[in-house]
Every structure is written in structure tokens, then in C-alpha cells.
Structure 1
Amino acid sequence: MSAQRAGGGGRGRRAAGGAAPPSPGRGREEAAWGLLLVLLTLAAYATALRAGFIWDDPDYLTENPLIETLEGLRRIWFTAQTPQYYPLVFTTFWIEEKLWGLHPLGYHAVNVLLHGAGALLVWRLLRRLEVPGAWLAGAIFALHPVQAESVAWVTERKNVLSGLFYFLALGGFLSFEEKGGRRRYTLALALFACALLSKSVTATLPAAALVILWWRDGTVRARSAIALLPFFILGAASGFFTAWIEVNRVGAAGPDWSLGLLERLLLAGRVPWFYLGKLLWPAELIFTYPRWEIRAGDPLAWLGPGGILLAAFALWRWRERLGRGPAAAGLYFLVTLGPALGFLDAYPFRYSFVADHFQYLAGLGPIALLSALLARGRERLGLGARAGMAGAGALLALLGLLTLRQGRIYRDEGALWRDTLAKNPGSWMAHNNLGHLLARQGKTGEAIRHYREALRLRPGHANALNNLGNALLHQGKIAEAEAALRRALAAEPGHPNARNNLSQALLAQGRLNEAVSELESLIRREPRYAPAHANLGSALLLMGAPMTKAAEHFTRALGLNPRLAEARFNLALLHTIQGNHAEAIALLREGLRHQPDDLATRQLLAWELATAPDAKLRNGPEALRLARGAALGDDPQGLHVLAAALAEAGRFEEALRTARQAAARAGSAGLKEDAERIREAISRYERGEPLRSPAR
């Protein structure tokens, strides 16, 4: 939005769209510039393409059972079972899961391509509006490192997909403004609906359109305002629905969101300056920035809103000299940032009031203004095209290199949280999440240190207390674990993971009735919480309840989350014990599809394939392959399964050697019953007979 163009008054409709179609030569030139823009985007995000999955990606994708089946697709659209109601985003994940499974490269490539397509639309949209430096603006939008969080983080498919529809809808509405036509209008409204179904922050589009029309024509015609009314209604409905979801489903309620109106005004005055600063000087970009303390009694807190008022006064005072461009760029920036200014509660405000991905669309205002100023400045200084291209190339190369470097922090969760803590040591969230990652890697001691640091920074934080309790449980410090978990529940009584883990601490102490009571209470509160059903099934078995009762809970758990490995394994084990070998094999094969490296599943499937009484179910070569991969060192059970697979394959000498080794290991470990069972198998191998499980 150039200052020179904006000061020139209105223009006719035809001029807004360009007077004539490009010649073939012009078309090839534009295609070359477009291809260059896409290639630059791919180069800048080369490191992001090699990234893995990080925070929130399990909830949105890797552990989301809804992306697997047609029933899941129905639930994506017609229920509120996804983390947020953005059905187009989850539909793209549903499609991609069918194409390349859960390999991260495909998801990252789609994010990068969507972002590149958005940058192309930015260029074409600004060119249509005759903004000087339109291609440069599109390239800066594509390559600026503040965009890396939106592109390199798979969960932020929300931003790049909604951004694509946002620019398409905006272009469609401007086309309707210039040429009229019900079809153009309907298409623009439908594209806007797609943007809202991808991320509701795009609800600001009609307000942004008014700003553009005012900048272009110097006024907003009543016809245009009326045409935008359905956009405003649709956007408001989506925005209010998302705000309700954030508070009532996601959990954006409590002391962290208890700012008063005056504090929110001060916050709204500070946020735009922060984002503008990161656009102009993108240093020290952090996944989670420090959370500000907003105090009305602090004189410095008034600098932000005061600065906005002063800037508005200056733009108005010198409007004849500056034109409408700077004011329009600023208005677009503020309007598009509106959902992130602090007036609406969002869950991420628990950690920080700002995040790079919050300004994905809003940054276009200052970017367009800067590009226009650079283009006009080159003309006024009399610099040739080569000098301009050299300057633009240097700027884009710098931004691209910064984005390439920024993309490295998204290669895995460990890199992300360590980079966050290096730049923001006070991030209790990063300590907690790094601890959770270390615990999954078996580094329990390191994990506990990070949990304790998180609790030092944020005393009484329920998630950190729950994670600490779970880690202590794995260390066998049951009493300490129980104490931490009860503190977590005191801080947040509805915390499902804490109550679930507390039940496991009670089971470890033999307090079966208390454990079952906790799990039943949890299921009454959270009937769709799959781990509680899985653990209740296990607890009922320990209490000697009928197997059918336990099986009901395992089945329910799998219905809620088909990737819950423990529930699937336990249900398969029940079928094995009951002689339902075909059902057990089917469950175990499905389990390996989800978790191909799960040793317990591989071991039990190898046992079934080697010993099932029905010859149609047995498969000696496959059993042997699975058993070899699941037999670890001195584990007597793994060796016992391997011996059974060798016998089924007719290799009785090897089966005998392996079984005798298994019996010796079981005996030295004091596992008398296991040793006796293995010796019975040895007697069969000596007779040249493979093992057979009992038939139903």
C-alpha cells in the first residue's frame, strides 16, 4: 500500500483489476517470477522439511484416532471430538494419513507448499491493487523467519491452510467489487467459510476488506458494506464459537486469564509493538516468549497504547503528505491482530501473551508498506533495476538464511525445548515438556530434575505435578508418587491424567478397591477417556473379576482410541487365554500396524502364529521372524517364544537349545512356574512335537 498511490484519490473499477490480459511473453515472465517465489520458499524451509513431530502434533495427528477411518472423518465434521473445531485441517490430515501414513516429511511438505501458494496469492493480490513492490512483498511474506513457526510446525496447518483460503476469499471479493456477479460473490463467501473452518482468526477478513476499499477509493460505498454484512455475520459466529470452545473445552479459564478491562487495554497496546519489532528485527525468535506482567500502576505499561494513539494522530495530521497507505497498513495490521490482542481469552496465554504464529496474516500490512516504500525509494533515488534487484536479493537472502536457521529448532521436541530454555530459561512449560520427553526416552532422573524446576518456577502446576508423580512411580517411589499426584488433583480436581496415574500408584500398593474407585469416578466424569477404561480392565482382572467384564473395558478403550497399545494387547491376551486365537491374532496384527516395534505385541503374535491349534492360523516363518526380533538377551519369555517358533518351523535342535537356555534363565531368576512350563515344552521338542495352545 504505497503512500504515493494512496494519496491519489479513487479510481474506476476497471483500473483496479488491470486493463488488459498479459501478452504471452508477459505471461511467461510472470510464471518465471512465480516459480522463483516457490523455489525460494522451498529453499528457505529445507531444514523444516527434515523436521519431525513436536508439541500438540500427537493430539492433532499422530495419536488422533479420528484420522484413520470413515467414522473418524464423520466425527471430525459432526462432533466436537477434535482439539479445536477446524474440520478442514483435520480432513487434510485424514487424507494424508492414507497417502503416507505418519511419516513427517509429507505433512511438512504440504505445509511448505501451502505457505508458498499463499505467498503467490499475496503477490497477485497486491499486484492487482497496484501496490509497488508487490512481488517483493510476497517474497518477504514467504521468507520472513517469523513465519517459520506457522510453517515448520505441523499443528499450525491451521495458519497456512486458512491463510490460503483467506487470500483466495479476499481476491474473490475484490473481483466481485470490480465486476459484480452473484457467482463471484457466492464463491468469495464459500472461500471465506473454508478459511473459518480452517482457523477462525480469519474472521477479521471483512474488516480488512473495508480497510482495503477505503485505501483504494478514499471511501467505502454503502453497497460494499452491505455486501460484506454476511461475511461479518459468519465471522462473528465462528469467532464466538471458537471463544466458547477455548474457555469451555480447551480450558482457557482461571487465574491466568483474569485480567481486568484496563489491563487488557494495556496489553492490547503493547502487543502490536512487539510484533512490529519482530518483523523489523527478527532476532531471538522463541517458541514460547516470557509472559509479561501487566500492571496498570506501572508507568511504562502506558507507553504501548500511548504510542498507538500518537502514531494514529501523526498519520491523521500528515495524511495529505503521507497519503492513505501508511494508515491503511497500520489499520490492517491492528484489525487482523484483533483476536490476539488480549480481549479474547486463548489457551496459549497461559504461557505467553505473544507467539510468532499469531501474526501470520497480520504481518502482511507492514510488509506491504515496507515493500512499497522500498520500490518508490528506488525510483526517487534514480537507481536502476539492477541495483533494486541486488538490494532486494540481499534482503531476501538474509531473511531466507534466518528462516533456514530457525527451521532447525523444529527438527524434534528435544531441539525445540532446549532452544526455548536457552532463550527463555524461565519457561516452566518448556521444562515440563522437556521432562516429559526425557521420561519417554527412559531418562527418568533427568526428567524429574526438569519437573522440579518447572514446579519451582510455577508452584502447584497440575501438569508438572502429574508428570513428576508418574516419573516417581516408574522409579518405584510409590509413596512420593502418590503424594505428588494428590497435590496435582488438589490443584486441578478434574485432571484426568493425574487421577488415572493415582489409580496406578494405588494398584502398585495393592490397594485394589481404592484404585477401582478412582477409575470408576474418572470414567463417570470423563466417559471418553480411553486410558481409564484400559486401566480399569487391568484392575478388574487383578481383583479376579470375570474376564468378560475386563474385556468390555478394553474394547471400550479401543473404540475410543484404536492406538492404545496396552488395551489392545490386554484384550488380545484375554482372547489367547480363552482360546479365541483368531480374534487374538487379528488384534495383534492391528496393534503392529500402529506400533510396529512394540516388543510385547510382536512376542504374543509370534506365540499365536507358532502355537495356535488351528493350522490355518499358524505361520511358522512369520512367527520365527517376529520371535527373533522380540527375543532380548536373557529374557526367558522371549527365548521361550523363539523356541516355540523354531519348533513350528521344524528346527527342533535349535528349539531345544533355545528352550534349555530359557529354562535356565527362568530358574536363575526364581521364576519356578515359568521354568516348569518351559521344561514341559522341552519334552515335546525332544519327541519332535511343536507346542500347541489349548483350543476354545
Structure 2
Amino acid sequence: MEENKKSRKLLQATDVIIIIITLITALSYAGVLKNAFITVYDDNAYVTKNAHVLGGLSVEGIRRAFIVFNDGNWFPLTWISHMTDVSLFGLNPAGHHLTSVIIHILNSALLFIVFTRMTACHWRSGFVAALFALHPLHVESVAWIAERKDVLSGFFWMLTMLTYLRYVERPGALRYVLTLASFICGLMSKPMVVTLPFVLLLMDYWPLGRVWHGGQTNHQCSSASLKRLIVEKIPFFVLSAASSVLTYHVQKTWGAVVSSDILPLKSRIANALISYFKYVIMMFNPSKSAVIYPIDERFQVWQVVGAAVFFISITAAAIIFIKRLPYLFTGWFWYAGTLVPVIGIVQVGTAAMADRYTYISFIGLFMILSMVIPNTVVNTRAGRAITAALACAVIIASACYTNKHVKYWHNSITLFERAISVTKENFVAHNHLGAALTDAGRYNEAYIQYTKALQFNYIYVAAHVNFGHLLIYLNRINEAIESYNRAITINPSYASAYHGIGVALLYQNKTTEAIPFLRMAVALNPNLVSARQNLERAMNRLINENNPAATMLMPH
């Protein structure tokens, strides 16, 4: 009877914690429903100008989601989620944002349930889940519609952990298959899930206690040798390897992988070490978070050495104190391991680091905090009260910061103005702010932003191309062609630059001269829809010279 009462109390505590986390998260993210699409930074490619997504949910759309490598990625479930939103809400951004917030809340609840079942520590698990739900660095994953892949893959990550826990408690073929299926769904949402099998091994050690090393386990699960646990996860590792190879090949084909000629390996390693350190600092102080942190190779030696000492010291401590502090081992290697695909050793794009990369990786650090803080306070009523008050203060502060950061994502202009205000010489942010101002018709202000972007990084191809677009709007066609040519000199494979020249020549009624450039743009990037359409219009104009010149699509 008493055992039943205890179970009911624990169930009630679980329900209360989930309700509290849900309400606080919903309130903190309520402002996101007023936010627009970030049309100059991937929301156009993912939703507003993606012909397949704009068609809504259909059999053909689902088929294409599985066979098309759109935007240099393969994540069919993410595309299907965007199609579903278009079918439900059209292009009303509030509906798209609402879906992301709901998924994020579900992820937080699932994380709490998983950790509660693994550790039997309700309030500590609640603290981990609350930090996950409310940390300001997670705003990017939730408030940016193009990052639906983060919250969706996060959902399947949590579901995989839950089904794996059920398999560990009661091994069986069906539960194993369900775990594997959840993992596959995660890979089909975002390839970053490839690190999950490694995390499952960490969980086997702590808190599941499945690794047998001559002593008893600390969980009501069967113990096993490390070799057996690794063999158990071979299908997961095989799928991770296949996904990694596929992702690398596609990204390289799309030109997203930065070559070692542009960014040497030593610079990548230095950036990785500094990023590991900066992420930890930003976990405690997220006041200067931004949507983009461009790579800066001007590292100071003391920065790299300091970051290396920090990383090596924590790693050594986690290994040395593995038996005394098993949560430090699992938490630290969870954090370090899940960041490996995006830490920059294989550099994709121009970002040195990104807030969205912390969506899963910070769970490891949150675990450490949830265990360290209570264990360092004296186990008295006063000590427990201090711990509870401190935890509440951290959660409230996180909720306030998150509510504030959501407003930065109101539109493209506010987002990149924020990035410029908290970073230095952020040429990427200046470029995107220029694009946002151009779309808003504020051409003089856009001109200033492109000038600054090229001042900070003259070989930044995207800024040259966008500057060319602006010059077309200003009817400075010859200058626009010069800007596009500078981009081609820097990167001869940049399709948008050829498209820009083609459009500029069409505006000058030089149809014959324009067609080779438009053909080159389509050849370099067959998915550049506007280039294909402009090429078709140019061919029609050439065939029928009496046909009035049609309005050309701008080369975005």
C-alpha cells in the first residue's frame, strides 16, 4: 500500500514538473508567433521560395523529399514537416513557428521523462529539462523556421533514448527495432544525429550502469561487457557512417565544404579548440549570442593554448575520476562528442560556430551541473533550500533571456542588426543585413552594408554578388557586371554570379550575350530556379524578336 502511495506521489511530481516546464517554455517563446520569415537567410530556400514545399503535402511531394538533395542536404522528414505546415497554415509564419515551439516543448518533456527513468532523480532531471527548454542559445533552433531540422531531429533523438531505455530494461527484438527506427527517423531529419550511438554507449556507463567491470551496476538493468555493448550498436554505427559519407559527398558537390587551401588544418584545429571553450562560456553568459560568428584566422597564441589546456584538463579529469564522478565522464564526452560533426575540422560554410549546434550538445553540460551543484552543497535543510533557490534563479534568468532573444528574430533586419552589434567585423552579418535592406527598398542603407562587408572581407563572394543585385536595382548595370565579374574571379564556380551577369545583360537587351552566362549558371547549379526561368525567357525572346521584353527575375 505504501509503495503504491509512493508511486502515485512520484507520478504526481512528474506531471507537475512537465506542466511547469511546458507553461514557462510556452510563455518564453510566445513572442515568436509575431516573428516573420527570415527570408534572406535560408527561410526562402526552405519554405517561401521552395516550389516543392509551397505545393503542400502530397504524394509527389513526399516522393521528391526522399529522392532530391535540396539545398545540399538530405533530410526528407524535415521537408515533409515544412510541406505539412504549408498545407495547414499557408505562408503565415505564425503557424510555422507554432509547430517548432510545440516540438521543442515535446523534446523537453521527453528529455525529462528519460532522465527521470534513468536516474530516479525527479528534480535534478527537471533542472536538466528546464535548462534545455529555456536556454537562450536554443532560441536559434526554435525561432528560425529553417532550423526545423534541429527540433525535429531532437524529437527523434529523445524518442530514440526513450525506446533504448525501454529496450535496456526489458530486452527484446521489437524494442530494439523501435529504437533503430527512431534513430533512422532522426537521421532523416538532420544528419547531426550520427553521434547518437556514441551517446548511447556513454549512457550505458552512466546513468544506466550496464558496463560490467567486476562490480555491481547502478541501475536495474543487466550488465554486459563493453565489447558486447558495442556489438549491440553495430547497426547504429553503420547507419551513422553511411549518413556521414552521404552528407559529406553532397555538401562537397554543392560547394559547401571549404578546402584546406582556403582554411588550413591548423586553423581549423585552433578554431575547434577555441569554440569548445567559447560554447562553455556562452552557456553561462549568452548575452552576446548572434545568428552568425564568421571564421577569424587571426588567433592569438595565448587563446589557442588556453583553450587547449582547458579542453585537455577537463578531458583528463573526466577520465581520471571516471568511477568517482561518472556523470562528469558521460556529460563531458556527450558535450565534446556531439559537437565533433560541426566543430569545424571539416569546415562547411563560413561560420566558426553557431548557437544551433548546442541544441543537443549542451545536455551533457546540463547533466554535469544538475549533479555537481547539489553534491557540493551540505545535505541539510538549509543546503537543500539554497540549491533549490539557485536552480530556480537560473531557470528564471534563462526564461527572461530567452524571451528577450526571441525578439531579435522578429525579422531579417532586427536579426542581423543584433549580430553586428555584438560581434566585430562580421562581414557575413553586414552582407545579410544589406540583402534585407535591399528587399525593404532601403537601397542607400544596403549600399553601406555591402561596402562594410567587402571592407572586412574583400574575397567574400556572396557580398560581391549581392552588391551586384543592388546595383541592378539602382540601374547601374555596368557596375553590377563588374561586381559579378569580381565574384567569378574569386570563385569561378559561383552560379549566382553568372546568373547576375545574364540578368544584367538582359536588362541591356543584349539577349545573345546573356544566354551563355545563364546557361553556365544552370549548369553549375541546376536547382537555381530563377536562372532556369530567365534562360527560358531569354530563349523565347531570341526566337521571337518581336515579342516585348518580359520582366526578368532578379538573380537571387
The answer to whether TM tops 0.5 is yes
In the alignment, the residues of structure 2 paired with residue 388 and residue 338 of structure 1 have an alpha-carbon distance, to the nearest angstrom, of 33
CA contact (8 A) 2:72 2:251 kept: no
- 2:257 aligns to what? 252
Change (3 A) 1:366 1:402: same
Structure with more contact order per residue of length (Cα contacts < 8 Å, sep ≥ 6): 2
CA contact (8 A) 2:494 2:524 kept: no
Match runs of 1:125-140 below 5 Å: 125-130=114-119, 132=121, 133-140=124-131
Change (3 A) 1:26 1:510: closer
Is 2:506 the counterpart of 1:507? yes
CA contact (8 A) 1:47 1:405 kept: no
In the alignment, the residues of structure 1 paired with residue 337 and residue 164 of structure 2 have an alpha-carbon distance, to the nearest angstrom, of 18
- 1:517 aligns to what? 516
Q: 1:229 aligns with which of 224, 231, 234?
A: 234
Change (3 A) 1:29 1:127: closer
In the alignment, the residues of structure 2 paired with residue 385 and residue 310 of structure 1 have an alpha-carbon distance, to the nearest angstrom, of 30
Shift of 1:314: 3.3
CA contact (8 A) 2:495 2:522 kept: no
SS at match of 2:254: helix
Segment drifting more, 396-405 vs 62-71:
62-71
TM-score (norm 1): 0.71
In the alignment, the residues of structure 2 paired with residue 178 and residue 21 of structure 1 have an alpha-carbon distance, to the nearest angstrom, of 23
Match runs of 1:341-360 below 5 Å: 341-347=343-349, 350=350, 352-360=351-359
Deviations 1:634-660 (A, max 9, x none): xxxxxxxxxxxxxxxxxxxxxxxxxxx
| Residue type at the aligned position of 1:90 | W
- 1:293 aligns to what? 297
Shift of 1:485: 1.9
| Residue type at the aligned position of 1:285 | S
In the alignment, the residues of structure 2 paired with residue 534 and residue 450 of structure 1 have an alpha-carbon distance, to the nearest angstrom, of 29
CA contact (8 A) 1:267 1:294 kept: no
Deviations 1:334-382 (A, max 9, x none): 11112122222322xx1x3211111111101110111123334456243
Change (3 A) 1:467 1:36: same
Deviations 1:265-294 (A, max 9, x none): 433332221111111222211211252326
Match runs of 1:570-581 below 5 Å: none
- 2:219 aligns to what? none
Gaps of 5+ in 1: 1-18, 555-564, 568-696
- 1:80 aligns to what? 69
CA contact (8 A) 1:51 1:412 kept: yes
Gaps of 5+ in 2: 213-223
Shift of 1:130: 1.3
Shift of 1:537: 4.0
Deviations 1:4-53 (A, max 9, x none): xxxxxxxxxxxxxxx98974454344222211111111111122232111
CA contact (8 A) 2:522 2:528 kept: yes
In the alignment, the residues of structure 2 paired with residue 528 and residue 276 of structure 1 have an alpha-carbon distance, to the nearest angstrom, of 39
In the alignment, the residues of structure 1 paired with residue 420 and residue 52 of structure 2 have an alpha-carbon distance, to the nearest angstrom, of 33
- 1:34 aligns to what? 18
Deviations 1:59-106 (A, max 9, x none): 011111111153333211122234421111110111111111011111
Is 2:44 the counterpart of 1:58? yes
Is 2:331 the counterpart of 1:329? yes
Is 2:267 the counterpart of 1:283? no
TM-score (norm 2): 0.88
- 1:395 aligns to what? 394
Change (3 A) 1:390 1:91: same
Q: 2:33 aligns with which of 49, 58, 69?
A: 49
Change (3 A) 1:311 1:503: closer
Deviations 1:460-517 (A, max 9, x none): 3222112222222222222222222222222222322222221232233343321233
- Aligned CA RMSD, in angstroms, stands at 2.7
SS at match of 1:353: strand
Change (3 A) 1:162 1:21: farther
Deviations 1:152-190 (A, max 9, x none): 111111111111111111221122122111000000000
Change (3 A) 1:300 1:469: closer
SS at match of 2:483: helix
Shift of 1:443: 1.7
In the alignment, the residues of structure 2 paired with residue 22 and residue 101 of structure 1 have an alpha-carbon distance, to the nearest angstrom, of 48
| Residue type at the aligned position of 1:126 | F
In the alignment, the residues of structure 2 paired with residue 73 and residue 21 of structure 1 have an alpha-carbon distance, to the nearest angstrom, of 49
Is 2:127 the counterpart of 1:122? no
SS at match of 2:233: helix
Deviations 1:511-544 (A, max 9, x none): 3321233223434444443323332344345546
- 1:643 aligns to what? none
